[in-house]
Amino acid sequence: MDTRMAELGASIVAAAGRELPVDGLLLSVVEAPTPPVASLATPVFALVAQGRKRLAVGDRVLEYGAGGYLVVSVDLPVTGHFTEASAAKPCLGVGLALRPDVIASLLLDHRPAGAATGFSVSKAPAELVDAVIRLLRLVDDPEDARVLAPMVEREILWRLLRGPNGATVREIGLADSSLSHIGRAIRWIRDHSTEAFRVEELAATAGMSSSAFHRHFRAVTALTPIQFQKKIRLREARLRVVGLGEDVTTAGYAVGYDSPSQFSREYRRESGTPPSRDGSQLAAEPALP
């Protein structure tokens, strides 16, 4: 596997900055450890070839390094950073957006059993790594890429469906799965993050009882619906305070807080510093969650 990781890393470096063979393919070359950055992760497969990453989702912390891969199945507010990276040995990663239509077509041939979660980390088998390497090497031949890249993308998704995270990937392709119902509620919270809501009403949009909705939501996101909304609000607030230079009161009201003092308390709890003193530079959202 060390040889495969070296091949994968070389392919990532060679493809970085070039036109990639499929939409939704992301590359990461990071030459120093980074501070934690809050972002909204979307459904993605992310594989590390070298270095190490840490990801916090709610009260869960995931770490994965060379040969480890992450699957995210719904939109999730996460805090991630690269923990092992240097100019001599950069952190190298590749990610691929998980497309429901492609996954749905594969489910006609294989439907994995088991319970799904919103995110998980596993060790990549050789067959999966080989497929990713072949996809990256298609940057050298655009004519081949037009024909072969969709096939290799399907192979990667097939390998994911056959792997330990297959049940989670499966749910992305099912229009009427419990995860898709939770995803509907997540999108509502994301798009109406400044609005108050009752969990009972949100459960109704997902077609579930309040108790079932709360249980499934927590299982998928590691957060309650209220905690999820708070993460979205505080991320937007930090973009306003640090990125746009808005004053604390204006930013707090803009994202849905009625009390500046409550906003300051929760901001400090989330970012480790009060908004009035948060002068750190907002890094661009990481290409990989």
CA distance 64 to 62: 7
Q: Which fold would CATH assign to domain 2-173?
A: Jelly Rolls (2.60.120)
- Rounded Cα gap, residues 189 and 132, in angstroms: 34
Question: Who has greater pLDDT, 178 or 87?
Answer: 87
Assess whether pLDDT exceeds 60 at residue 289.
no
SS3 for 89?
Answer: coil
CA 189/CA 166 separation, integer angstroms: 27
Kindly report, residue by residue over 220-275, the tens digit of the pLDDT: 888 899 988 988 888 888 778 777 778 878 888 888 888 888 888 887 777 666 66
C-alpha–C-alpha distance, residues 133 and 147, integer Å: 16
- The pLDDT of residue 276 is 63
The top-level CATH class assigned to 176-282 is mainly alpha
- Of the pLDDT bands very low, low, confident and very high (cuts 50, 70, 90), residue 184 is confident
Domain extents in the chain? 2-173, 176-282
pTM for the whole thing?
0.78
